Amino acid sequence: MAEDFRPTASVEMLRRRSELTMAIHSFFQKQDFVHVETPLVSHDTVVDRHIEPVSVLRSSFTGSALDDRPMWLQTSPEFAMKRLLSTGLEAGMTSIYQIAKAFRQGEQGRRHNPEFTMLEWYRCGDGLEQGMQLLSDFAAEILNRPASHLVSYRDAFVQYAQIDPFTASDNTLAEVCRARIKIAERFSEDQSRDFWLDLILANLVQPQLGVDAPAIVYDWPASQSALAIVREGEYPVAERFELYVDGVELANGYHELLDAEELLRRNEHVNQQRLADGNSALPVNSRLLDAMRKGMPACSGVAVGVDRLMMVLTGADSIADVMAFGFDRS
């Protein structure tokens, strides 16, 4: 206990983190982005099957014991930033970014901390290709690496796991996991298709990504679209893209969904999954939905884990090593 007052990061690490923050601001200033700040506590929260937000009572802020409505520490500044895009077009709020604290329950480990720093940006007019190009430019400048290698989700699975994620049966995916991934033995046969795909991605595909140059994986299964547009075809795909460097996932991006009623449908579906998993439902209606119904401009957006970015830059083994105070000393 006597040592708990000490930082978990060295002074040199904190200096380098300061340099990273300044480099991020410089990059977006050159791209003519506007830096914004949005609330850390909101009546709305992102509805995700696997992300558990931290709830607080509104009365903690208003001082009224009768005001027991829940509010949420933000898991991402996504909802509020999109509301800015929906209402700020006439004022020129078409390219925005933010470096913000985010909070998620149950996420503590070598690469996770319940409180972490997220960089998020949106640019109106960008589709999938422009969104990936900006992410590639960002990675090249901030990490001093070559231009990113673009690879589809399907091709990445075929190359590194020798399986087609769109045509393989659920049973085949499960068999691959049980034959090649040791921890797969822990799980029952009735897991979902996306569960087996995520297990293959994390254990067979991801460790191979971004070793020689950053890799951006795009065109994800439609079932993993989150808030991305789904493009129809023989196999519908989500216009979602993720950045990997040295086998570490650093960023998640979308060609953003614009249809409020589709987002509402997805939220309701995710809540059904959450309840089946034994978790509580999250509010499906939000001020973002209201803003989208008024009209949200076409755009792409990206979220980057700044702490993980710092880990890759410095070769740090633990996320606590790049934070002034990791969770256990916070």
**Residue 131 confidence (pLDDT):** 98
Q: Which amino acid is at 192?
A: S
Q: Which amino acid is at 204?
A: L
Distance between CA atoms of residues 60 and 164, nearest Å: 50
One digit per residue, pLDDT tens: the chain, 330 residues? Answer: 556 899 999 999 999 999 999 999 999 999 999 999 999 999 999 999 999 999 998 888 887 777 778 899 999 999 999 999 988 766 668 999 999 999 999 888 889 999 999 999 999 999 999 999 999 999 999 999 999 999 999 999 999 999 999 999 999 999 999 999 998 888 887 899 999 999 999 999 999 999 999 999 999 999 999 999 999 999 999 999 999 999 999 999 999 999 999 999 999 999 999 999 999 999 999 999 999 999 899 999 999 999 999 999 999 999 999 999 999 999
Distance between CA atoms of residues 282 and 108, nearest Å: 22
DSSP H or E segment with residue 301: strand 299-305
**Residue 320 confidence (pLDDT):** 95
**Residue 154 confidence (pLDDT):** 98
3 state DSSP class of 52? coil
**Residue 143 confidence (pLDDT):** 97
- Other Cβ atoms within 10 Å of 287 Cβ, number: 15
Distance between CA atoms of residues 75 and 120, nearest Å: 12
- Other Cβ atoms within 10 Å of 284 Cβ, number: 16
Q: Which residues contact 124 (CB under 8 A, 6 or more apart)?
A: 85, 89, 94, 95, 297, 298, 299
Closest alpha carbon to 240 in 319, 127, 321:
127
Q: Quote the pTM value.
A: 0.95
CA atoms within 13 A on the CB side of 28: 22
**Residue 90 confidence (pLDDT):** 62
**Residue 80 confidence (pLDDT):** 96
Find tokens 């040199």 and name the residue.
12
User: Measuring CA to CA, how many Å separate 314 from each of 135, 136, 325?
Assistant: 20, 20, 17
Distance between CA atoms of residues 100 and 185, nearest Å: 39
Q: Which residues contact 198 (CB under 8 A, 6 or more apart)?
A: none
Domains of the chain: 11-148+213-329 (3.30.930.10)
User: Measuring CA to CA, how many Å separate 280 from each of 177, 221, 274?
Assistant: 29, 25, 6
**Residue 140 confidence (pLDDT):** 97
Distance between CA atoms of residues 123 and 36, nearest Å: 13
**Residue 167 confidence (pLDDT):** 97
Find tokens 């809540």 and name the residue.
271
Distance between CA atoms of residues 278 and 275, nearest Å: 5
Find tokens 């795009």 and name the residue.
218
